[in-house]
A and B are shown apart, each in its own frame.
Chain A
């Protein structure tokens, strides 16, 4: 297997070339877009006051970096997202376990979960603010509310899809339901749990931003609303770009985690 045939070498070369082409095109489009944006504001084709421009955004980033506000707002949003994400995972894991243990409980609660899951969660945010007050805790709960119901349902479904024969095996070895849960249900659900994590990190970010729109003095969601109200479009677009970066990085972290776990389990 060490020797590579000429045809295989050619295939690999073509593959690499294609890969480089895609990367190069991505950067090209990105820079063309930035250039077009900058030039059209410079020649007053579009109004830089409304559309902002790459140079103004860069300037905003530097100003905000100098007084530290960019780190404060980004930090608080990141913190709220991560806390609500961890709580969502914890709560849905516990709930799914309870539902798995008691089929009566799952039958009773099913309609509630389905309704809460299909409810537009942004409608819940004003209620949460009245009940819990305008503080970071409320934002975290708002972040959770977007993800938690769907997460419970998918995790419970993953638990339920465990191979019946594998469960029978544990029973023939003399195991009780606790053994079934720990030896089969949890380990065989790990791939599904990982994809649930991937979906939920994004949903938590959505929920946190909705919460910050309505009741916050800090955070990127607050910054977006504040900037739009006083027409500071440079601030608004800068916040959006930071949000893009956060979303991308959070997703990458989960993906790395998934990769690591898969490798450790040799799946």
Chain B
């Protein structure tokens, strides 16, 4: 089986009048269907740039990004992108926010709307359908944002530090929730984070980037003896701190 996402020899630079900044340098990796990949690296190393490239928001200067053998540009429908903040619009109800993507892509079919209703019910937001986003808690807002992304039924989910705007307690809970939802909906996901413990608690593999211009230091597979642990349970497993220390060492050596 060929991988879902294939990134080969991707380079990207930012151009300004004062000069050129190389952000990414010769990035090559692939992600299989159903896999959860975490990308960690020092801050400002180009993690978000990499996600923008994967989502087709920007085009690589060199190299290529393929999803299911198709080049990524113009293929955006298959990719769900979750940003740092939920960006729920206060002038829309929760329901109207959640169907925003479907509305834009003119895919408000009965099937899709039923899927949305189901997710709202499953993830505890059905009672807040007609509320304003400001009436939701931080965790509920993040779940609403995830449903908005999943409503488009993407084959690949990109998560750009989706928990960084939350306080610590909410963050652990939402991390658990979101990970559960992704597993249940059987999605392939790529998580960008600077929180190493978050990466270890969620991912099947962890990609470590070096300082700018970012290259791949290592791709580390994560195996816990017990299968199917939630992020919270993983945090208590004995292997957790070994992985944490290994990534910490790699980052300090190259970051």
Q: How far, in whole Å, are A173 and B132 apart by their CA atoms in the complex? A: 21
Q: Which residues of B contact A265 (CB under 8 A)?
A: 90-91
Among B100-154, those with CB < 8 Å from A are 100-101, 104-105, 132, 134, 148, 152
Q: Which residues of A contact B132 (CB under 8 A)?
A: 266
Per-position contact with B for A133-170: 1 when CB-CB < 8 Å, else 0? 00000000000000000000000000000010110111
Cβ-based interface call for A39 (8 A): no
Among listed B65-73, B76-84, B185-193, B213-221, interface-contacting one: B76-84
Is there an interface contact between A172 and B100, defined as CB atoms closer than 8 Å?
Answer: no
Of all chain A residues, the one with the shortest Cβ separation from B103 is A183
Cβ-based interface call for B249 (8 A): no
Within 8 Å by CB of A171, from B57, B85, B90, lies B57
Cβ-based interface call for B55 (8 A): yes
Is there an interface contact between B87 and A174, defined as CB atoms closer than 8 Å?
Answer: no
Q: How far, in whole Å, are A166 and B132 apart by their CA atoms in the complex? A: 17
Is there an interface contact between B100 and A183, defined as CB atoms closer than 8 Å?
Answer: yes
Total A-B residue pairs with C-beta atoms closer than 8 Å?
48
Is there an interface contact between B104 and A179, defined as CB atoms closer than 8 Å?
Answer: yes
Q: How far, in whole Å, are A190 and B57 apart by their CA atoms in the complex? A: 28
Contacts known (A168-B57, A168-B83, A266-B132); A173 close to B90, Cβ less than 8 A: no
Is there an interface contact between A172 and B105, defined as CB atoms closer than 8 Å?
Answer: no
Q: How far, in whole Å, are A163 and B101 apart by their CA atoms in the complex? A: 18
Q: A258 CB to closest chain B CB, in angstroms?
A: 15
Q: How far, in whole Å, are A14 and B250 apart by their CA atoms in the complex? A: 66
Is there an interface contact between B91 and A172, defined as CB atoms closer than 8 Å?
Answer: no
Cβ-based interface call for A267 (8 A): yes
Is there an interface contact between B104 and A183, defined as CB atoms closer than 8 Å?
Answer: yes
- By the criterion of a CB under 8 Å from any partner CB, how many residues of chain A are at the interface? 20
- By the criterion of a CB under 8 Å from any partner CB, how many residues of chain B are at the interface? 22
Q: Which residues of B contact A187 (CB under 8 A)?
A: 89, 91
Q: Which residues of B contact A65 (CB under 8 A)?
A: none
Q: How far, in whole Å, are A85 and B68 apart by their CA atoms in the complex? A: 55
Is there an interface contact between A173 and B83, defined as CB atoms closer than 8 Å?
Answer: no
Q: Which residues of B contact A171 (CB under 8 A)?
A: 57
Q: How far, in whole Å, are A190 and B148 apart by their CA atoms in the complex? A: 24
Residue from A163, A170, A171 with most neighbouring chain B CB atoms (10 Å): A171
Q: How far, in whole Å, are A266 and B80 apart by their CA atoms in the complex? A: 30
Cβ-based interface call for A175 (8 A): yes
Contacts known (A172-B55, A174-B76, A266-B132); A166 close to B104, Cβ less than 8 A: no
Within 8 Å by CB of B87, from A165, A179, A190, A266, lies A165
Among B30-63, those with CB < 8 Å from A are 55, 57
Q: B253 CB to closest chain A CB, in angstroms?
A: 33
Q: Which residues of A contact B89 (CB under 8 A)?
A: 166, 183-184, 187
Q: A267 CB to closest chain B CB, in angstroms?
A: 7
Within 8 Å by CB of A166, from B80, B87, B105, B148, lies B87
Q: A158 CB to closest chain B CB, in angstroms?
A: 15
Within 8 Å by CB of B100, from A168, A173, A266, A267, lies A173
Q: How far, in whole Å, are A117 and B135 apart by their CA atoms in the complex? A: 42
Q: Which residues of B contact A163 (CB under 8 A)?
A: 87
Contacts known (A165-B85, A183-B104, A266-B132); A172 close to B57, Cβ less than 8 A: yes
Q: Which residues of A contact B90 (CB under 8 A)?
A: 265-267
Contact surface of A with B, Cβ cutoff 8 Å:
163, 165-166, 168-175, 179, 183-184, 187-188, 190, 265-267
The 7 closest A-B pairs by CB, nearest first: A172-B81, A173-B101, A175-B104, A187-B91, A169-B87, A174-B105, A179-B104
What 7 new A-B contacts, CB under 8 Å, besides A172-B57, A173-B104? A172-B81, A173-B148, A174-B101, A183-B89, A187-B91, A188-B91, A267-B90
